[in-house]
């Protein structure tokens, strides 16, 4: 396919600056900004309900560890089990941001290359369960508040994927094609931007719902709304994405779509339950 005149060539530097010789990458910045926004939104929600700072402060650490560990394990188990579960080196690489040479124990720092949103969602649920037990807050109340915040964090993470030129869309001849120069010379759907924009819209709509129906917090309505909207969009956007791993080739639905279906079902059930309650 030839380069189209309307296509944008995307070839950003991976790192905008360095601190003491350590490169700070755009992807990491997007994660930090997303988590920072999530932190302040959650703090605002807690203050509206007069929940003490003492109960709020541990939440960020629980969320951070739950998302990171869950997203990393989700990628390794769901997408590349043959690489990470068949050797000691692979198991170490699951938990540490390192990569070993194939024929020796020489290693280099790479950061966590491979995070799965479905695994991050499961990890977050697990972390929040333990957080609620420790603080004696209602688990459903915590889930609903996190659900109001989550889409804006997810949107920032997808912007990080865009900066990294990863999770690419399929080739397109349409007016929205972007050439990811670090990958190839083919105009592609900017699927990462589609997702980011969708998640920001989902966040804005969820916030409007919250202002109209604050009494629904704790009924799992917002938890259901978050799951149903995010993973419904995730299901359909997968049709515009390139296959991420070889075993998905020839599948009727890819792994991301199969994993999205139960989340959508759970989300719809929780929304119905919340409305009835």
Give domain status of residue 109, yes or no.
no
Q: Is 64 helix (H, G, I), strand (E, B) or coil?
A: helix
Supply the range of the domain harboring residue 160: 8-79+114-245+252-276
Measured CA to CA, the distance from residue 78 to residue 259 in angstroms comes to 9
Please indicate, yes or no, if residue 60 is contained in any of the structural domains.
yes
Sort residue 20 into left (φ over 0), alpha (ψ -120 to 50) or beta.
left
142 inside domain: yes
Count of structural domains, the chain: 1
Q: What is the DSSP letter of 252?
A: S
**Sequential pLDDT tens for the chain (277 residues):** 444 455 789 988 877 777 776 777 888 889 889 999 999 999 999 999 999 999 999 999 999 899 889 989 988 888 888 888 888 988 888 888 888 888 888 888 777 777 788 888 899 999 999 999 999 999 999 999 999 999 999 999 999 999 989 889 999 988 889 999 988 899 999 999 999 999 999 999 999 999 999 999 999 999 999 999 999 999 999 999 988 777 777 778 888 899 899 999 999 999 999 998 7
Angle at 71 between CA 111 and CA 178, to 5 degrees: 70
Q: Could you tell me if residue 45 is inside a domain?
A: yes
Q: Considering only CA atoms, which of 6, 39, 3, 274 is closest in space to residue 156?
A: 39
Residue 256 lies in a domain: yes
Answer whether residue 134 is part of any domain: yes
| Cβ partners under 8 Å of residue 75, min gap 6 | 114, 115, 116, 119
């Amino acid at each position: 396919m030839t380069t189209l005149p309307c296509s944008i060539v995307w070839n950003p530097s991976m790192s905008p600056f360095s601190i003491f010789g350590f490169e700070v990458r755009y992807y990491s910045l997007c994660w930090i900004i997303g988590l920072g926004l999530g932190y302040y939104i959650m703090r605002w929600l807690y203050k509206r309900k007069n929940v003490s700072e003492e109960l709020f402060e541990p939440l960020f650490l629980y969320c951070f560890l739950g998302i990171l560990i869950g997203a990393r394990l989700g990628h390794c188990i769901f997408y590349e089990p043959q690489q990470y579960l068949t050797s000691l080196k692979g198991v170490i690489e699951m938990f540490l941001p390192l990569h070993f040479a194939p024929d020796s124990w020489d290693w280099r720092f790479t950061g966590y290359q491979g995070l799965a949103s479905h695994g991050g969602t499961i990890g977050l649920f697990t972390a929040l369960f333990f957080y609620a037990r420790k603080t004696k807050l209602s688990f459903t109340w915590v889930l609903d508040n996190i659900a109001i915040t989550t889409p804006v964090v997810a949107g920032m993470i997808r912007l990080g994927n865009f900066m990294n030129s990863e999770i690419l869309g399929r080739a397109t001849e349409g007016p929205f094609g972007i050439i990811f120069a670090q990958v190839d010379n083919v105009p592609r759907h900017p699927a990462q931007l589609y997702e980011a924009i969708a998640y920001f819209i989902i966040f804005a709509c969820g916030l409007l719902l919250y202002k109209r129906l604050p009494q629904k917090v704790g009924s799992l309505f917002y938890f259901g709304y978050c799951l149903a909207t995010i993973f419904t969009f995730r299901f359909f956007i997968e049709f515009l994405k390139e296959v991420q791993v070889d075993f998905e080739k020839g599948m009727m639905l890819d792994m991301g779509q199969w994993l999205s279906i139960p989340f959508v079902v759970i989300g719809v059930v929780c929304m119905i339950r919340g409305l009835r309650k």
